[in-house]
Structures are given as structure tokens and as C-alpha cells.
Amino acid sequence: MKKLRLGVLASGGGTNLQSLIDCCAKNSLAAEIAIVICNNPDAGALARAEKAGIKTCCINHRDFAERAAFDRKVVQRLQESGVGLVVLAGFMRIVGPIFLEAFPQRIINIHPALLPAFPGLHVQQQAIDYGARFSGCTVHFVDVGVDTGPIILQAVVPVLDGDSADDLAARILIEEHRLYPQAIQLFAEGRLQLEGRRVRILPLGSGPTS
């Protein structure tokens, strides 16, 4: 069976990308990473992809006068690479309508908080400052809002007394590295069915590609 082709968009260190590379390598994720695109030339994700022999592409948003032109360029590269699912892994750009029209219900993101609590940036510090006892991570489909799309999977971690934002981020990242491949595997098996805002997870063997 043809493997799902992933297009990973990243801006930073790329530990989530690394977990996807590792899961693909050991076949616990039935997908292949077709291309990694970064908007930041210094992104650690680029080096991780190159080391794994994955095609990379740096498209610096600063080289574009307007956002739509940047978006069109990224979409073009994804389409040229035959991508079936766009995976945002620490991609620090807003994904606008040009992306959503090109890949309807085929863009997912991971967010380091339990949505709908704490969307946006610096969310580990926000969870600490709020006094939340638990936080975690959320994998969701991307829609027109910021961190508002239908939720696929979530994992919970405790917020401990004395946690710094970095402490909490590290605890959450462990779960991210487990959760993201799991969600992508469900997508690859055709087991995610959208019903309005709700994502139904179909039993194994019932998806069209199973």
C-alpha cells in the first residue's frame, strides 16, 4: 500500500520532527516524510532532516513582501512533493486560507497546552501563572483560527509546584513526541472522521485505507 506522504513545516529545534523521523524509521508510523520546509534558515529542524536524508527547503518569509506570496510558495513546494498531510511541528507562522484551500482537512498542528485553554504563545508560562494543576498537549486539525480546530488527541501532564516554563515544556514535550506520531498514524489509517467540531476515531480496520 502507498504510504502517506507528510510535509512537515517547522521553525525551530525540531524535536517533534525528530520523533516523526524515528517512528517512520522503525515503522511504528506508516508514513514517509516527503519534505521538511522551514521559514527560518537557522532552524534545527533543517539539520535533523538533512541528517536523515530527507528533502529540505528553506523558504524565508522575510523574502516575501506579503504573506499570500509566501503561503503560495510553500503550498507549491508541498504539492510538488505529493504531500497528503501537512504536519505543523513548531511552525511559527499563521496558516492562512491559501493553505486551507490547498489542503482541506489535511493540515494538523500540535500545541503545548490543553486546548481550548491557553491558545497562542508562551502557553507553559500562562498555565503556571494561571495556577493550572494540569496542562498537556493537543493535536488538532487546523482551521481559520489560531489553535481552534477540531481536536484529535490530547495528553495530560501535571503542573508541579516550583515548575519553570522550561520544566513544564520539557514534561509536555515527552508527551508530544508520543502523541503526534499516534495521531498521524490514525490519519494514515483513515480512522479520523470529522463530525462538525468532533473528531470520531473509527475502530481499526474500518478506515478506507485500512
Print the binding letters for residues 146-185 with ligand GRF: x by CB under 6 A, - otherwise.
---------------------------x--x---------
Quote the least distance from Cβ 125 to ligand GRF, whole Å.
13
12 counts as binding ligand GRF under rule CB under 6 A: yes
The secondary structure of 104-143 as a DSSP string is TT-EEEEESS-TTSS-SSSHHHHHHHHT-SEEEEEEEE--
Residue 86 engages ligand GRF in binding (rule: CB under 6 A): no
Binding residue for ligand GRF, selected from 7, 8, 14, 95, defined by CB under 6 A: 14
Q: How far apart (Å, rounded) are the C-alpha atoms in residues 39 and 91? A: 8
* Number of chain positions touching ligand GRF (CB under 6 A): 14
**Angle CA(112)–CA(36)–CA(20) in degrees, nearest 5?**
55
**In this chain, which of 4, 36, 89, 100 binds ligand GRF, going by CB under 6 A?**
89
In sequence order, the 6+-apart residues with CB closer than 8 A to the CB of 165 are: 122, 124, 125, 128
3-state secondary structure of 9: strand
Of the residues 6, 102, 110, 139, which one makes contact with ligand GRF according to CB under 6 A: 110
Give the three cell numbers for residue 116.
481550548
State the minimum distance, in angstroms, from the CB of residue 12 to ligand GRF.
4
Cα–Cα distances in angstroms (integers) from residue 28 to residues 20, 120, 121, 184, in the given order = 9, 30, 31, 11
Site for ligand GRF in 21-60 (CB under 6 A): none
Whichever of 173 and 199 has its CB closer to ligand GRF, that residue is 173
Question: By CB under 6 A, is residue 16 in contact with ligand GRF?
Answer: yes
- Residues in region 189-208 near ligand GRF by CB under 6 A: none
Q: Is 111 a catalytic residue?
A: yes
Integer angstrom CA distances of residue 192 from 61, 65, 108, 163, 195: 32, 37, 12, 35, 10
Cα–Cα distance measured from residue 79 to residue 112, given in angstroms and rounded to the nearest whole number:
28
Catalytic residues: 111
Residues forming the site for ligand GRF (CB under 6 A): 10, 12-16, 89-90, 110-112, 137, 173, 176
